Structures are given as structure tokens and as C-alpha cells.
Amino acid sequence: MALNNTYDARLVQQETAVGAGLQVLLLALLGTAIGMGPAGWLTGLAFAIATWAVLSRALHRSRLRSFGPANRVTLGRAILVGAVTALVADSFQSSPPVTLFVGLTAVALILDGVDGKVARRTGTSSALGARFDMEVDAFLILVLSVYVSMSLGPWVLLIGGMRYVFVAAARVLPWLDAPLPPSTARKTVAALQGVLLLVAAANLLPLLANAGVVAVALTLLVWSFGRDVLWLWRTSRGQQDGAVKAAGGAATPTGASARIKPAAPADTAPPLDISEKVLEPVAG
């Protein structure tokens, strides 16, 4: 049995190595097609190595027996994101072909809706797969923000950096790290970020119109994050108040004072269930 587990682990690790190899191959094709400079090459290779290292470590810790079809789709998206990252790094010296840049980004965005469906249909959903998908999405938005900021200004970086600021803040404020309930609105806003940034990156609209498109994306993102932070804060406060009341109720008086009991209020509402607190503030 131990031999089988070792073999499965090696097989899973091999898939990440294949992904890194495909990333290098795609970079070579881009370099041949557009004459990519050193900045693009170094950034693309750094992305490939970092993705391989982080994903391999996560797979080792999760002890998945197979990589799974959904993770393969996400790995394919990561390879495309690596290519887009290389093009953005190279754009500081020379602008990449718009058709190539938009095409790679569009395919990566479209595949974002595929890996989740594949995971559900094949029964291969996992915490690692969901986290892998989320990190690829977040990094693509960051890269697109960097590219668009070169024409519209540094304020666009708020879109790409907001998620990372939230993660950093959660290390200082643990209540931000609590799980959030599912929300269609949150998923819609997240999907729109990539689409709206790509519209601005394509330069199909006048500069002022592009700024308006990105401003809409930023406004929606601020609203979504603000709503989630408010819900997390209210939930944390509610749990703290409940713990304080429970601790106070546990300290029962003894002796003569125990004979005197305060009158119970006429209308005592039952405590709100956690599931109700989760669903109510963020419905829709």
C-alpha cells in the first residue's frame, strides 16, 4: 500500500512538472513570434518556477492521489496567465501585439468558467482545486491592472491589489479570515473585473471611455469587498457578544444572593442561528 501511495504522489508531481515545461514551451513560441525581450523571458520563467514550486508543495501537503481533470484545466489557465504576465513585463519596453494579448487573456477568462463545472461533473472538487483556481484568477487581475495602469494611471492598481491587501489584513485581524457564505453577487463582480479590464486593455474605446469602464469595475469591487468586510465584522461582534453573555450566565451566584432571581423579560427572542446570520446580510 505504501508503494502505491508513493507512486501516486510521484505521478501527481509529474503533472506539475509537465505544466512548467509547457509554460517554457509557450514562452519560446512567444519569443520567436514577437521577439520578446529579457524582461518578458525572466518574468515568464520566474512565474513558471514559482507556480511549479508552490503547487508541488500544496499537492504534497494535501496528499491528493490524483491531479484531476479540473486541476488540469486550471493548470492550463495558469500557463496562459504566465504568458500574459510575460507580455505585460515585456510591454515596458515594447507594446505586445494587441490581438495576441487579448486572445490569450480571453481564453484564460473563458476557461475560468470551465474548471469548476468539470470538478462538479467528475466529482473531483477539492479545497486545493478551489484555492488554485482563486489564486490564478487573482493574479490575472493583478497583471491586467498593471497593464491598464500604464495608460490610465496607478489608481487602476487598486483593483489588482485589493484582494492581496485583504489577505494581508486578515493576518492582523483574524476575524477577516472567517469563511464567507456563497454569494452570486460576489462571483459576478469577480468575473466582471477581468472582462472590464480586458476591454480597457484592448484600446477599442477612447481613453475617457476606458477610464469609465475601469472606474465601474473598481466601484463594484469596493462595494463587494466592503459588504463582505461589514458582514464579517458584524458576525465577529455577534459571536463575541454571545460568548460574553454565555460566560456571564455561567457565573451563577451562591448563598443568599442565589435566592434572588431577576425577573425574565416578557418577550425573550431565541438566539439567532449562525446560518441565519450568514445568509441574511449577503443575500443576492
Average pLDDT, the chain: 84
Residues 6 or more apart whose Cβ sits within 8 Å of residue 223: 189
| Structural domain boundaries in the chain | 1-152, 153-246+276-284
Q: CA-CA distances (angstroms) from residue 80 to 22, 73, 201? A: 10, 11, 16
Residue 172 pLDDT exceeds 50: yes
Asked if 82 contacts 48 with a C-beta cutoff of 8 angstroms, the reply is yes
pLDDT score recorded for residue 249:
66
Give the residue carrying C-alpha cell 432571581: 261
Segment 134-158, tens digit of pLDDT? 999 999 999 999 999 999 999 999 9
Asked if 19 contacts 78 with a C-beta cutoff of 8 angstroms, the reply is yes
Instruction: Render the burial of 167-181: b for 16+ CB within 10 Å, e for the rest.
Output: eeeeeeeeebeeeeb
Residue type, 88: V
Band the pLDDT of 16: cuts 50, 70, 90.
confident
Instruction: Render the burial of 122-144: b for 16+ CB within 10 Å, e for the rest.
Output: eebeeebbeebbebbbbbbbbbb
Segment 21-75, tens digit of pLDDT? 999 999 999 999 998 999 999 999 999 999 999 998 888 888 777 788 899 999 9
Q: CA-CA distances (angstroms) from residue 262 to 245, 247, 256, 268? A: 15, 17, 14, 14
Asked if 136 contacts 81 with a C-beta cutoff of 8 angstroms, the reply is yes
Segment 87-135, tens digit of pLDDT? 999 999 888 899 999 999 999 999 988 988 898 898 888 888 889 999 9
Which 8-state DSSP code applies to residue 266?
Answer: S
Using alpha carbons only, how large is the chain's radius of gyration in Å? Answer: 24
Our separate counts of H helices and E strands in the chain read 9, 0
Which 8-state DSSP code applies to residue 91?
Answer: T
Segment 247-277, tens digit of pLDDT? 776 655 554 444 444 444 444 444 433 333 3
Instruction: Render the burial of 19-50: b for 16+ CB within 10 Å, e for the rest.
Output: bbebbbebbeebbeebebbebbbebbbebbee
Q: What are phi and psi of 80, to 5 degrees?
A: -65, -40
pLDDT score recorded for residue 171:
94
Residue 161 pLDDT exceeds 70: yes
